[in-house]
Structure 1
Amino acid sequence: MSRARRIDTHQHIVPPHYAEWMHSKGIRPGGVALPLWSEPEALLFMDTHGIQTGVLSLSTPGVWFGDQAEARRWAREINEYTADVVRAHPDRFGFFATLTLPDVDSALAEAEYALDTLHADGIVLLANNDGRYLGDPAFAPLLDFLHRRQAVVFIHPGELPAEPVPGVPTFAADFLLDTTRTALSLILTDSMATYSDIKFILAHAGGFVPYIAYRIMLAMLNDKNKIQQALEVLDSDRQIPKELTVLKQFYYDTALSASPAALPSLLQVADPDHITYGSDFPFAPPPAVHIINRLYEDYPLDDALRHAIDRGNSEALFPRLEG
């Protein structure tokens, strides 16, 4: 194994029964075929790519298809299946528990069971749930629960609540917009302040968030008059306008984003202690991960920051993985 001993906060699981269910519905998440997954293949991938521990999560489309009982049943089955994988290899795997949003009551029940009984390392939430983003007031009871539990919450994109563009796979751009929309939803509803003890990890380096940071600032200033806006933007005593400090509350993973095109924007916006390594396996096949890893390893980072991204920042999020 590589000396990196990475902790991968963006690694997916595709339980076999869930795969059968998705195939029966003809679903191609992100516009691609559902990948095969097995515990041995995941371990082999990790050993080949310098990953000590993969924190597993279910990807889009999750378990919600309009049937409350069905969503509850599948969330429980997936969480128990994944917890069994972690119990078999506690140093190699962790997991984010799947919930039932937009069904908030069931999501609260499953979150409590997953954290207290299955000892999940955190929760995975889709960026939008039946077209509603995470700042939606209807989701406040769940966010309040996760805030009180100081939970780590991995936000993964899904299909936009709009028709896809023919010939353009949704993972290529729609996923990034979905993550960006939910980040804006959390910011503009003051959810980042209200639920400040939730540790939100944004997938794929936050989608478009780092690149459009100053547009986000303008959206935050939109309810101020023009003079106030100018004073905020032109305040030369601050390197980063105070509105943009909210972006430093988020964590960002590097899945499919650790390239010389994306890393400069991420490093300008993210707190260095809030960046985690991500692979996106198995949706990102090993050759793709290998290419991104090479770009990341060739990028000029100091040793302390590279260690923090590879492992240290995740050890702070998941103390049981320290060592």
Structure 2
Amino acid sequence: MADADRPGMIIDVHAHHAPPGLGRRSDPSQVLTQPQQEPFEARLARMAEAGVGLQVLSSTTPTYLADAAEAVERVRIVNDELAARCRQDPERFRFWASLPLPHVDEALAEMQRVLGHPGAAGIMLGCSCQGGSIAREAFDPIYAEMERRRGVIFLHPVQNGLASPLINDLGLTVCAGASMEDSVAALHLIARQVPQRFPSIRFIVPHFGGILPMLLNRLDGQMPRPPGAAAPSAVARQFFYDTVGWGSKAALIAALEAFGDKQIVAGSDYPILLSWESYAQTFRHISQSGLPAGAIENILFNNAKSLLHVDAVEQAPWPPS
């Protein structure tokens, strides 16, 4: 039995690993910082201490590049590295596949190559793509394919501060801009009715959904929507939200009140918060929050296990032919 299948083992849906050697790529629309790597033995020790049975890995290496061939080359390196890590320890790791957007045909080919093979939990989409919306009509084929697969999409900021000097010129790109990216990406999906048009896709919005929990009533009252469309708050409550909140109980309570304990999954942003707190403390904020025991159990253990079907880990060759 995998560790993640044992009662009381946390599934961390938001953990990073950057393939070595790729470094940074100059792209003004995606300026992601690379987390400092550590030996995987140290990672496993931290996981054991924190009670984490499984991490879902994602890379912050930029793959949204103007040149299609370069984007494909980089994304294959990223996905093959993450898949290799999962193959070495399939009971403790899965990964979110990166895509070479905005190149839709190449992205669909990469999805065909990667998804369905061991370790692939779904895809990661940046909260914007080269300064444009991820809910743009041109990306509908990506959503259609994920709908066909009944897949999971994990959103992640690209750290561009919404391309706003009002955010970036004062150094607020990461500390505040990232959560604003989360909120805007979710709002774009709602505005373009992506969840309604592709209802089998499950979305994970990071960082408790940013400012979204505080906006639901206002969105219902003021957000434009076609006649007969669902209320924005109802659509927002279909998303899942991870618990990366830097220990903020206010953020936890706001998300819980807005979305309910069945829509919140454990996440850490590993290893980013290690300079702020221990890996174990990141989840201890939830377990010691004073929430009802059932809510804590859902957030830390049950929701991600159901969402990711962690019992269905299969072995197959990698890379796929």
Is the TM value for this pair above 0.5?
A: yes
Give 1:278's aligned residue.
Answer: 267
Name the counterpart of 2:183. 180
| AA matched with 2:234 | T
Give percent identity, aligned residues only. Answer: 28
What TM-score, normalized to structure 2?
Answer: 0.85
Return the offset for 1:153: 0.6
Per-residue deviation, 1:304:
1.9
1:268 paired residue number: 257
Answer yes or no: is the 8 Å Cα contact 2:96–2:123 preserved in 1: yes
One-letter identity of the residue aligned with 2:292: D
Partner of residue 204 from structure 1, selected from 181, 203, 207 = 207
Q: Does 1:14 align with 2:3?
A: no
Report how far residue 201 of structure 1 moved: 0.2
Query: Structure 2: which amino acid aligns with 1:137?
Result: E
Instruction: Report the Cα distance in structure 1 between the residues aligned to 2:271 and 2:70, rounded to whole angstroms.
Output: 25
Alignment CA distance shift 1:286-1:88 (3 Å): farther
Work out whether residues 125 and 154 of structure 1, in 8 Å CA contact, stay in contact via their aligned partners in 2. Answer: yes
1:303 partnered with 2:293: yes
How many Å apart are 1:79 and its aligned residue? Answer: 0.8
Match of 1:96 in 2: 96
**Runs of 4+ displaced beyond 6 Å:** none
For the pair 1:106 / 2:109, whether they are aligned, the reply is no
Shift of 1:297: 2.4
Aligned CA distance change for structure 1 residues 121 and 26 (closer, same or farther; 3 Å): closer
Bigger mean CA deviation after superposition, 275-284 or 254-263: 254-263
| 1:17-68: CA deviation from partner (whole Å, max 9, x where unpaired) | 23xx31x7599x8786642244223212212222110000112x52123221
1:259 is matched with which residue: 248, 251, 255?
248
Q: Give 1:40-189 correspondences, 5 Å limit.
A: 40-59=41-60, 62-117=62-117, 120-158=120-158, 159=160, 160-163=162-165, 164-189=167-192
Tell me if structure 2 keeps the 8 A contact 1:10–1:278.
yes
Query: Structure 1 residue 191 and structure 2 residue 180: aligned?
Result: no
Q: Name the SS of the counterpart of 1:10 in structure 2.
A: strand
Q: 1:63 to 1:8 in 2, by over 3 A?
A: same
Counterpart of 1:320 in 2: which secondary structure? coil
Cα distance in 1 for partners of 2:244, 2:109 equals 30
The CA RMSD measured in Å over matched residues stands at 2.8
CA distances 1:145-191 after superposition (whole Å, capped 9, x unpaired): 11111111100011223345334241211111111111111111111
Within 2, Cα distance between the matches of 1:17 and 1:93? 21
1:222 and 1:195 map into 2 onto residues whose CA distance is 17
SS at 1:124's partner residue?
strand
Which deviations, in whole Å up to 9, do the C-alpha atoms of 1:125-147 show, x marking residues without a partner? Answer: 10100112221111111111111
- Where 1:205 maps in the other structure, the secondary structure is helix
Q: 1:308 to 1:101 in 2, by over 3 A?
A: same
Q: In 1, distance between residues paired with 2:41 and 2:33? A: 23
SS at match of 1:285: helix
Displacement of 1:105 in angstroms is: 1.1
Preserved contact between residue 124 and residue 153 of structure 1 (Cα < 8 Å): yes
Shift, 1:80, TM fit: 1.1
Question: Any unmatched runs of 5+ in structure 2?
Answer: 314-321
**Mapped partners of 2:151, 2:312: distance in 1:** 18
Count of residues paired in the alignment: 303
Alpha carbons 1:205, 1:257 under 8 Å: kept: no
Contact kept, 8 Å, 1:128 with 1:157, in 2: the verdict is yes
- 1:264 shift after superposition: 1.6
CA deviation after TM superposition for structure 1 residue 246, in Å = 1.0
